[in-house]
Structure 1
Amino acid sequence: MISCKENAMQTKRVMRTLPALMISLSISLSFAVSNSQAQSIIGALADDGPTETIELTVSPAASPSPAFKYRLTVLPHQTISGNAASTYMRSLAEGGLRSPLKRISDKFGLESHSWYDSQQFKDVAPEKILEASAEFDDYVREYLARATMQRDCDFDLGMEDLQGERAIGFSLSFEQETRSMSRVLGLQTRAAIIEGRFADAVALMRMNYQLAQNVAQTPALVAGLIGIAEVGITNHGMEQLIAAEGSPNMYWALTELPRPIIDLRRAMRLEMQWGERLIPELAEAQQEHTDQEWNSLLNKISGRFADGMLFAQVQNGPSGVAERKPVPQDAMMATALGLASYRSAKKRLIAGGETKDNVEAMSVSEVLMKDAARELTRISDFAEKEIYLPYPQSANRLDRVEDFLIGEEKRNSPGAIFASMILPAAIQVRRAQLRVDRNICALRAIEALRMHVAETGVLPSSLDEINIVPVPDNPATGKPFRYRLKDGAAVLDLPRDGLNLYWKRYVIRLR
């Protein structure tokens, strides 16, 4: 029980550091915005049935001879010197992409950014697809074909060196621009398939897969997500190729692709240290300071938050580009929240090994700084070790991490709130990485089906019947994909598998 006198003394100590306590409210408001968005995304995945059904009518197709007649990668001795990043950037600087995009929009009155998707734009006349694709022939030949052959790709952004507000205010607008490049390659892939130019279609998909991997080399989760989206565009093209009459079997070409195709480990390792990079003063919490120095460190942090420079809502500005708008502060709410956090912070420090006398002797600033640093490390470590586990082992554990983070954030611990702002994003990116890898494995399974039909003349009643090549397992579970025959068609399901993934279903019929 805390006496009235002790309570009054603690209140006075907190009031003296009021500017520093603004951080608690700022973080809480920002987390509420991001958490609400995340919950709406998860809620959209709550349906019991398939989210997307892809119907493919396929022809039997044996393995090519030689097996790697078609490749989706560039062999080492076929690469050329140069930095792909420079070639990509030069292509945009010279207007090589914007002009044809505008001509297509003006001519057809239909945005071309999704023409690569035959499911969404199945009614677009083939001649329009071919005419639109031709607008980009020079661009692809002069820039993208060269860039995706070049040996190196370094955007040289220095992400590792950024700290403070620069760590979140840094623009990755160029990486976003590469989505247009990927869509163009997807459009050209669709045109090549329409004309039966299968070797050209494979070459265009090779460029697209390589573009995605190049973009994802930037050590930022946003760049990884862009690369994942570009792999998704390329996978659309692969579905169209598989469904085209007389198309080659791509089982071995897909098998050669790296796994995971988008490597996020470097970005994960950097962004999991996001709290210390955003608030470098936390790294000094392990050192000894005078009371004045502790106050100065905490006031530096609170100054950024009071200006709305660290945590802010993202809105579209007048130019249509995302801009950060400061989150409003409320001094009284910050005071109340800071007082509650101060009391619980003392308890956590004592539970963590500090003596009660030492903690009572600390200033409010020292208590809050040390507690925030320790809690950030503890919770980040808890989540990070789950993220690095293989998919089948992490399937249910990631859900438990999210539940844990929600519980931690509700404690109003600044360190817990710091951690809770980046870790859910890391978990969602991990799932996005799994989604495209799972899709590539499913495409390999479909190509194994086509090989089996080429040999036996019939669809197998189960995947176990296929012995001409190994059928890949579902990487989300480490077990075979769900498969069955229904009404003369093969049904391959990619369910949520306990990972809040969307449920994709392939319905495969023989031509």
Structure 2
Amino acid sequence: MTCFFLVVTILVAPPVDSRAGETAARLNVQPMAAPKPALKYVLLPEVREMNPGNAAQWYVRCFQEQRNFFFSKQANADRARYRALPLAELPVEKLRQYGGFALTQADWAARLDTVDWEVLQRVQTEGLDVLLPELGPLEVLATALQVRLFALARHLGDYPAEAANLIGLSAAHLTLDTLEEMVQQPGCPNLYWAVTDLPCPLVDLRKGLQGQRAMVAAELRPLRDDTPMTEAEMEKFVSRLSGTLGFAREQAGQSFRSLRSLLRARVKDPERVRAARRRLIEAGATEDLVALVQAVLLHYWDGSKVYADQVLRFPPAQVILLDEKRAYEIRRDEGMKLLGLAPWQIDVLTSSGKIEREGDGLFADLLPDVIKVRRQQGLVEQRIALLRHVEALRLYAAAHDGRLPDKLADVPVPLPADPFTGKPFHYQRDGATAHLRGNRPPGDAKKAAYNGHYEVIVQKSDVRSQRTEVPNRRSARN
């Protein structure tokens, strides 16, 4: 079984004549049958290739080895030049040792059996101000490496920070750019089963969003729910959180939102304070009862009265803050629970109004934008699905004298649905050219990134020679 070494470059295909607002790519491919055995080529290391060790440590070591390679002006200029070249024009001999031992260590990291970024305790305790200095270099590594990035992308999905997961998605796109060019090279094996073998999702978002949840929990930890807080304690809490959220909004280019002013307005509303206090008492009674059942206590205990006595002694500002915290937690989980759904299923819920996505809660800025990041993840899934279609068309053409199918139902292998609709991709044949189009998620119909269009052109070749796999060429293993 051969693990492909994806060359250190990408080629952005020239735009094709397409509809307005589309992301279009033209792929010139040859008919090619599936290899035998079917998984002779794979895109992620298998167990038999793995070694014991922590991949994260080896990724970081890349920068200790050759900082000039990653950060010097000349190295960046060379990298930009190489990335602009088509695969056929790359100076292969010159690039054979590209990156030296630095990228060799990244290659080794891709085949280690565990990944522990060793940031969990910091994420859990340092709040939203936690520093994650390794993320910047890892983004540089992705652009420098562009080999075996599927492994790096997947490892970044194990990082407990949303920013790292997004870098993982970016790395996956870089690799798909390269893979799309690779399948156009003469004699390239058919990768339908290799692409099908990729895990879905390739880059997980759960740990990143759970890490974000842990950071927020650390940020809100000073807000006590077991005893009345002093005015000084509440001032310290509000001051820190207000500064953190204000800076985040400024960095995001959003208008200023005064947490302190919003809190003051709520505290001055007696009815609002009474309603908040009542909700806290009701919620506390329920939580006390659950805790008792879990502890298997057999005698009756009026937990509601104990918690009610506490809440009645809380000052109005503390009551409002605790009520807002609980509202935040409810809305947060309304978003987080969607991660297990396909993008089109999420759209069904959100378009029907069942998911509240906006509001004026004090802690609204802390809510994760699950729908947005899930759609970004869905873009990677959609590109992988489209690439499976391309390779399936090559399979069909190899068995039918270079001809394309009239419809996707004629293809003899399973084809994935569009993750944004749960329905088949749009397919149109025009002679030796096939047009594959994805679907547009609600609200993003005008964004080109969500309007993929593949123009697949089957080149003339000796189809008979493609009905069996081409001889195995030597390739670097990863």
Paired residue type of 2:247:
A
Distance in 1 (CA, whole Å) between partners of 2:71 and 2:333 is: 48
Counterpart of 2:222 in structure 1 is 281
Distance change >3 Å, CA 337–CA 157, structure 1 → 2: closer
Distance change >3 Å, CA 475–CA 217, structure 1 → 2: same
The answer to whether the 8 Å contact 1:438/1:475 transfers is yes
**Cα drift, residue 212 of structure 1:** 1.2
List alignment gaps of at least 5 residues for structure 1. 1-46, 187-203, 316-322
Distance in 2 (CA, whole Å) between partners of 1:266 and 1:230 is: 17
Counterpart of 1:5 in structure 2 is none
Distance change >3 Å, CA 348–CA 254, structure 1 → 2: farther
Distance change >3 Å, CA 115–CA 228, structure 1 → 2: farther
Deviations for 1:399-431, whole angstroms, at most 9, x for unmatched residues?
A: 66798333x12xxx31xxx1343322x332211
The answer to whether the 8 Å contact 2:418/2:439 transfers is no
Distance in 2 (CA, whole Å) between partners of 1:446 and 1:367 is: 58
Which of 130, 151, 154 is the equivalent residue of 1:170? 130
Counterpart of 2:237 in structure 1 is 301
The within-5 A match list for 1:25-424 is 49-95=20-66, 98=69, 102-105=73-76, 110=77, 112-113=79-80, 115-116=82-83, 121=84, 127=89, 130=92, 133-134=95-96, 136-139=98-101, 142-159=104-121, 161-163=123-125, 166-186=126-146, 204=147, 207-272=148-213, 274-282=215-223, 284-285=224-225, 287=226, 289-290=227-228, 293-305=229-241, 308-309=243-244, 311-313=246-248, 334-335=260-261, 338-340=264-266, 342-343=268-269, 345-346=272-273, 348-349=275-276, 352=279, 363-398=315-350, 404-406=356-358, 408-409=359-360, 413-414=361-362, 418-424=363-369
Distance change >3 Å, CA 264–CA 313, structure 1 → 2: closer
Distance change >3 Å, CA 310–CA 274, structure 1 → 2: same
Distance change >3 Å, CA 402–CA 149, structure 1 → 2: same
Distance in 2 (CA, whole Å) between partners of 1:367 and 1:63 is: 65
User: What is the CA RMSD across the aligned residues, in angstroms?
Assistant: 3.5
SS in 1 for 2:453: strand
List alignment gaps of at least 5 residues for structure 2. 1-17, 283-307, 460-478
**Cα drift, residue 227 of structure 1:** 0.6
Distance change >3 Å, CA 403–CA 353, structure 1 → 2: closer
SS in 1 for 2:158: coil
Paired residue type of 1:226:
I
Give the paired residue count: 409
Paired residue type of 1:176:
G
Deviations for 1:147-176, whole angstroms, at most 9, x for unmatched residues?
A: 11122221211256533xx32222333223
Counterpart of 2:4 in structure 1 is none
**Cα drift, residue 382 of structure 1:** 2.3
Counterpart of 1:482 in structure 2 is 426
* Poorly superposed stretches of 4+, deviation over 6 Å: 327-330, 357-361, 400-403
Paired residue type of 2:453:
R
Distance in 2 (CA, whole Å) between partners of 1:54 and 1:268 is: 32
Distance in 1 (CA, whole Å) between partners of 2:130 and 2:179 is: 34
**Cα drift, residue 328 of structure 1:** 8.1
User: Could you tell which deviates more after superposition, 255-264 or 482-491?
Assistant: 482-491
Distance change >3 Å, CA 149–CA 125, structure 1 → 2: closer
**Cα drift, residue 177 of structure 1:** 1.4
Deviations for 1:43-85, whole angstroms, at most 9, x for unmatched residues?
A: xxxx984431000111001001111111112121221122222
User: Does the alignment pair 1:462 with 2:397?
Assistant: no
Distance in 2 (CA, whole Å) between partners of 1:175 and 1:99 is: 14
Counterpart of 2:475 in structure 1 is none
Deviations for 1:372-395, whole angstroms, at most 9, x for unmatched residues?
A: 222112222322223332333112
The answer to whether the 8 Å contact 1:60/1:453 transfers is yes
Counterpart of 2:380 in structure 1 is 436
Counterpart of 1:44 in structure 2 is none
Distance change >3 Å, CA 154–CA 274, structure 1 → 2: closer
Distance in 2 (CA, whole Å) between partners of 1:156 and 1:240 is: 36
Counterpart of 1:17 in structure 2 is none
SS in 2 for 1:243: coil
Counterpart of 1:508 in structure 2 is 456
**Cα drift, residue 220 of structure 1:** 0.9
TM-score normalised by length of structure 1: 0.71
Paired residue type of 1:153:
V
**Cα drift, residue 268 of structure 1:** 2.3
SS in 1 for 2:357: helix
SS in 2 for 1:173: coil
The answer to whether the 8 Å contact 1:494/1:503 transfers is yes
Counterpart of 2:293 in structure 1 is none
**Cα drift, residue 342 of structure 1:** 4.7
Distance change >3 Å, CA 228–CA 125, structure 1 → 2: closer
SS in 1 for 2:116: coil
What is the identity percentage for the equivalent residue pairs of Structure 1 and Structure 2?
Answer: 23
Paired residue type of 1:472:
P
**Cα drift, residue 87 of structure 1:** 1.4
Distance in 2 (CA, whole Å) between partners of 1:300 and 1:48 is: 55
The answer to whether the 8 Å contact 1:153/1:214 transfers is yes
Paired residue type of 1:79:
M
Distance change >3 Å, CA 268–CA 132, structure 1 → 2: farther
Distance change >3 Å, CA 495–CA 112, structure 1 → 2: farther
User: Could you tell which deviates more after superposition, 85-94 or 491-500?
Assistant: 491-500
Paired residue type of 2:319:
V
The answer to whether the 8 Å contact 1:160/1:270 transfers is no
